[in-house]
Amino acid sequence: MASLPPIPLMEKAYRRGDTSYDGVFFLGVKTTGIFCRPSCGARKPRPENVRYFATPREAIFAGFRPCLRCRPLAAVGAPPPWVNLLLKEAESNPARRITDGEIRTLGIDPARARRFFKSQYGMTFQAYCRGRRLGTALERIRTGGPLDDTLLGSGYESHSGFRDAFARTFGLPPGKARGTDCITLGWMESPLGPLIAGETRGRIVLLEFTDRRMLEAQLRTLRIRFKLPMVPGETKPIRQLRRELSEYFAGRRRRFSVTVDAPGSEFQQRVWQELRRIPYGATVSYEALARRAGTPGGQRAAGTANGLNRIGIIIPCHRVIHKDGGLGGYGGGLWRKQALLELERGERKYDR
């Protein structure tokens, strides 16, 4: 995992437009929703309006779009013309899903696009598009600004396009989203990448890394389970969770005190309850998890239920491994699973 230089050093670098830090870090500007290279020639933002990222991938999934002036996706060198064509196509309507067939009509091999984006930017082209869809809707509405301001900063050319995209994601038009009984979604940073949390009626119902492939499906499942719209915002339980996560990553917290609500089938409920019984710093095998959940020999089903957990870290699905010591799977990526286990074994600490 890439690490960032000290904040005072990064602030100094972008203030003076130091090209030697291009590619070392990227800065997201909260007031504009864009992210830039340190050398960007645009007007320098105030420090309190800046967030720092080690990779473009982190910035994208935190809701920022690439700057058209300094082109941060070209920080590793000028990309081929066909890459610029793909990026232009994606930015023309961030809410649109671009299929492999549409990529082929542009004269581009989808497999080639996947390989290039993965090697250069740490994410596939489809992951880039997914991040832009979610980021546009979440980051803009969560600030609580007027609808017109949100529209102008979101990249959409019409009110109807923006409303349609928002409603598809959250189940309610943006103009009706505030002041209703809802699931509140909050964005939070972590040393392992941005997280999104969901809360309703004082209970945490979602905690996922924003780049998880299943995130859109998890949002749909939540909307069906609770029959409530989703509105980005800030609540007391989300602020509490943010504090507890900071303490967890700093090695100062072993148990979370936030209240959670994880509806599911009877079997899923048993599996998730057993996950919460695994002690901090310990692991169990999928086989042992199935046995504890009352289904000896059902490790495959237990693994599936484990993967459908919507409240990561708090319900610690990362503590389940193969009986031979192999990591197994993890929706947030095996590198994150390894990092979480090392944190809980006292082998790494994040002072954030």
Q: Which residues pair with 12 in a beta bridge?
A: none
- How would you list the strands of the sheet with 183-188, edge to edge? 203-209, 195-200, 183-188, 230-232
CA distance 174 to 167: 7
Return phi, psi of residue 103, to 5°. -65, -40
Active-site annotation holder among 67, 129, 182, 317: 317
C-alpha–C-alpha distance, residues 272 and 289, integer Å: 10
134 vs 312: CA distance, rounded Å? 19
Q: Cα–Cα distances in Å, from 105 out to 100, 109, 115, 221, 271?
A: 9, 9, 18, 33, 46
277: which 2 tokens? 């019984």
End-to-end, the C-alpha distance of the chain in Å comes to 16
CA–centroid distance for 326 within its chain: 25
Is 67 tagged catalytic?
no
- Which of the residues are catalytic? 317
